[in-house]
Amino acid sequence: MSKTTLSSKEMLKRLVGFDTTSVRSNLDLIHWVQNYLKEYGIESSLIHDATKNKANLHAIIGPQNVPGVVLSGHTDVVPVEGQAWDSDPFTLRDHDGLLYGRGTCDMKGFIAVALAKVPEMIRQPLATPIHFALSYDEEIGCLGAHDIARHLEKLPVKPKLCVVGEPTGMKAITGHKGICDFDCVVHGKEAHSSLAPYAVNAVESAAELVAYIKSVARRMANEGPYNKQFDPPFTTVHTGTMKGGTVVNIVPNRCEFSFEIRNIPEVNPETLIEEIRQYAFKTLEPRMKDIDPKTGFEIKASARVPAFDIINTDPAVTFVLSLSGANSTEKVSFATEAGIFHSAGIPTVVCGPGSISQAHKPNEYVAIDQLTKCENFMDRLMEKMRKAA
């Protein structure tokens, strides 16, 4: 049986062809990768989510008893609905050295280059193993990465470092902000608007909390703490959605909103969350409950990505710099799964092909020369893994 060999571009074409928008299953892609690796004698572990509709994939190429290097990527992509694409987002289109398609830059490009190198990795052979860690649901709050990080943490021999291949133009990224997302439901008490003082207006109570959240955001901007490596250089807090009420002459009994904290590594988001909760439950809610004890706030965390920060002198950083050919590091404002792997005790650096400014947009693309740079990165990685034990 002849084995599948694909160039990075051909591999990317395959991966883009699987519609792995976060609301859908990623299993077709995962099973395809599993079979591809199997052709080369590599067994994969699948770690499913509770619905069994999605899975992470972990595979080791090389010896199992030596600490290795993890190449990590998320398989899901953001939706294309409502975006004006010039061509089918799930069919790779090559035009003027740019490869268009959903996920080309965020982040199937990195995964494609790594997978296309599998035949070469096998040929080396590797003295130090390369791990593949492919996750699901990154785009909706890094849900899959927690399980795969736990899986890596529990291996008999824990990996020594992790490269998360999010689009950084192949620069080495050593820090990003954290994200905490919350859904809030405000339960009020309905009434004819002429009787408003005897009711509990859910929209107004929500607005009071939203205004408080805004005051926290202003304080963070005006008083810090600051970290100049980020843009903006402070923790941001904002309300993203709000929905409530039906008509103007009914006191609304329900309002929903969502808010988000993006913290610099120096700020513990728990303190801010606690402050917002205190205001809701100790200041606003008692006034509501005086009118009707069934009213009040429900605040639930919907997603959590820890902030990520690794010092420049860490051997993992030096190692990734030597592979990328870059000589300096940067911090970014977008979040990745790096904080999850790094918190699991696997020193992590973010480095991958493409630009984040292309991500999540219609006509998303990755430049072929970025894939070439990533191929060179993989070649240097194999070179080091072959020699250094």
Please work out, in degrees rounded to the nearest 5, the angle formed at the alpha carbon of residue 218 by the alpha carbons of 213 and 220: 95
Segment 74 to 93, residues that bind Zn ion, using CB under 5 A: none
**Candidate ranges 11-19, 114-122, 158-166, 196-204; the one touching Zn ion (CB under 5 A):** 158-166
CB of 352 to Zn ion, least distance (A): 9
Nearer to Zn ion, 133 or 385 (CB): 133
Q: How many helices (H) and strands (E) does the chain have?
A: 11, 18
Contact yes or no for 169/324 (Cβ under 8 A): no
The number of residues that bind Zn ion (CB under 5 A) is 3
Segment 106 to 145, residues that bind Zn ion, using CB under 5 A: 106-107
CB of 43 to Zn ion, least distance (A): 27
Dihedral pair phi/psi, residue 286, rounded to 5° = -55, -40
Contact yes or no for 254/188 (Cβ under 8 A): yes
CB of 118 to Zn ion, least distance (A): 22
Segment 160 to 199, residues that bind Zn ion, using CB under 5 A: 166
CB of 374 to Zn ion, least distance (A): 15
Nearer to Zn ion, 163 or 203 (CB): 163
Using CB under 5 A as the binding rule, whether residue 351 contacts Zn ion is answered as no
CB of 360 to Zn ion, least distance (A): 9
Nearer to Zn ion, 140 or 185 (CB): 140
CB of 316 to Zn ion, least distance (A): 20
Q: How far apart are the C-alpha atoms of 152 and 44, rounded to whole Å?
A: 13
Nearer to Zn ion, 77 or 126 (CB): 77
Cα dihedral 357→362→366→367 (10° resolution)? -90
Dihedral pair phi/psi, residue 176, rounded to 5° = -150, 165
**Candidate ranges 102-110, 144-152, 217-225, 348-356; the one touching Zn ion (CB under 5 A):** 102-110
How is 331-368 classified by DSSP, letter by letter? EESS--THHHHHHTT--EEE--SS-GGGTTSTT-EEEH
Q: What's 293's DSSP letter?
A: T
Nearer to Zn ion, 20 or 227 (CB): 20
Edge-to-edge order in the sheet of strand 254-263: 236-244, 254-263, 178-187, 296-305
Nearer to Zn ion, 360 or 384 (CB): 360
CB of 20 to Zn ion, least distance (A): 12
Residue 328, judged by CB atoms within 10 A of its CB (0-12, 13-18, 19+), counts as exposed
Q: How far apart are the C-alpha atoms of 142 and 145, rounded to whole Å?
A: 6
CB of 11 to Zn ion, least distance (A): 18
**Candidate ranges 103-111, 142-150, 276-284, 342-350; the one touching Zn ion (CB under 5 A):** 103-111
Burial 148-178 (b: 16+ CB within 10 A, else e): bbeebeeeeeebbbbbbbbbbbbbbbbbbbb
Nearer to Zn ion, 22 or 295 (CB): 22
**Candidate ranges 11-19, 116-124, 159-167, 259-267; the one touching Zn ion (CB under 5 A):** 159-167
Question: Which residues are at the interface with Zn ion (CB under 5 A)?
Answer: 106-107, 166
